[in-house]
């Protein structure tokens, strides 16, 4: 059995819809969307095609079943999720795509072409964000009471650490040792404020020098998924964020020990 969209002559089968929706949902999960957003967008698309979609979202796979209202045309698909960097730009574009499909009754073939156009866009040059990240971290230093010297120290420490992070990421190094090394470099440079008695707030300088590495988005998504009842994804994201936090803490402690900054 197939269903016909009331505004087009295109028939939408459960198989065609499932192939698009599974790819779409995986892309959303990969770019940092919460489970709630994925469910809302997927259900919006399914309703447009007069179908129902049921999903099980896990960190590594998405299991999707699409069926018509009578249940006579059903298709189930399990798709693996790749691990890529968070992209709010792609997240927003994919959400707009779901609204475009709903507003224009876009068929799966056209929707797939639009999805590929979004996912194949060139990513922004991460090196251009380097001074902005350093400036933001220096602003955090000031927010916590750091003086001008501490802000300059944090700016330099963040610049070096973030540059190292980009280099190691481009080289394909795992994120966990990358965070350890970046936190180590940033904390060593951040400790120079106190080592050479450059300013009056050296403790704030070293404490804020590694804030750019804190995995804030995974923590926020984990609590959002927990509230929505997606406990599998929530606990996985929470565990992943906790591991990353331990890695940056290890790098920070190593840098402080090397520089004799003292942790207590």
Q: What is the pLDDT of residues 160-176, one digit of tens each?
A: 999 999 999 999 899 99
pTM: 0.84
Same domain, 132 and 106: no
Return the higher-pLDDT residue of 70 and 17.
Answer: 17
Inform me whether the pLDDT recorded for 59 exceeds 90. Answer: no
Please report the pLDDT score of residue 134 as a whole number: 96
User: Does residue 23 carry a pLDDT above 90?
Assistant: yes
Give the mean pLDDT of 214-241.
93
74-80 β-sheet, strand order: 51-57, 61-68, 74-80
Evaluate if residue 116 carries a pLDDT over 80.
Answer: yes
Query: Residue 95 and residue 98: Cα distance in Å, rounded?
Result: 5
Residues 140, 250, single domain; the answer is yes
Give yes or no: residues 188 and 254 share one domain.
Answer: yes
Q: At which of 89, 119, 149 does a domain end?
A: 119
Neighbour count for residue 258 (Cβ, 10 Å): 12
Are residue 97 and residue 203 in the same domain, yes or no? no
Instruction: Report the percent of the chain where pLDDT is more than 70.
Output: 95
Q: 80 is in which domain, residue-wise?
A: 3-119
Is the per-residue pLDDT at 261 higher than 90? no
Chain segment 71-103, per-residue pLDDT in tens: 788 999 999 998 778 888 999 999 999 999 999
Q: Are residues 19 and 105 in the same domain?
A: yes
| pLDDT computed for residue 11 by the predictor | 74
Quick check: 3 pLDDT over 70?
no
The HSE-up count of residue 17 (CA atoms within 13 Å, CB side) is 35
Q: What is the mean pLDDT of residues 61-70?
A: 90
Q: d(Cα 257, Cα 263) in Å, to the nearest integer?
A: 8
- The pLDDT value recorded for residue 4 is 42
Q: Please determine, for residue 222, whether its predicted confidence score (pLDDT) is greater than 90.
A: yes
């Amino acid at each position: 059995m197939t269903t016909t969209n009331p505004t087009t002559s295109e028939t939408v089968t459960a198989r065609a819809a499932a192939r698009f929706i599974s790819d779409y949902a995986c892309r959303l999960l990969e770019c940092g969307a919460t489970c709630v957003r994925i469910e809302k967008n997927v259900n919006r698309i399914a309703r447009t095609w007069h179908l129902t979609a049921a999903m099980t979202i896990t960190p590594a796979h998405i299991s999707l079943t699409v069926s018509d209202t009578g249940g006579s045309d059903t298709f189930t698909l399990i798709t693996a999720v790749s691990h890529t960097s968070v992209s709010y730009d792609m997240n927003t574009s994919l959400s707009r795509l779901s609204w475009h499909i709903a507003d224009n009754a876009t068929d799966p073939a056209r929707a797939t072409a639009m999805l590929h156009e979004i996912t194949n866009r060139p990513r922004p040059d991460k090196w251009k964000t380097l001074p902005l990240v350093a400036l933001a971290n220096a602003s955090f230093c000031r927010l916590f009471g750091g003086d001008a010297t501490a802000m300059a120290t944090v700016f330099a420490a963040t610049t070096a650490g973030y540059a190292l992070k980009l280099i190691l990421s481009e080289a394909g190094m795992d994120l966990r040792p990358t965070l350890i090394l970046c936190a180590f470099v940033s904390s060593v440079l951040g400790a120079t404020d106190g080592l050479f008695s450059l300013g009056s707030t050296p403790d704030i300088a070293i404490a804020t020098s590694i804030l750019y590495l804190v995995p804030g988005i995974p923590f926020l998504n984990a609590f959002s998924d927990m509230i929505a009842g997606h406990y599998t994804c929530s606990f996985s994201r929470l565990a992943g964020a906790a591991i990353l936090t331990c890695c940056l803490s290890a790098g920070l402690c190593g840098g402080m020990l090397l520089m004799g900054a003292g942790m207590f």
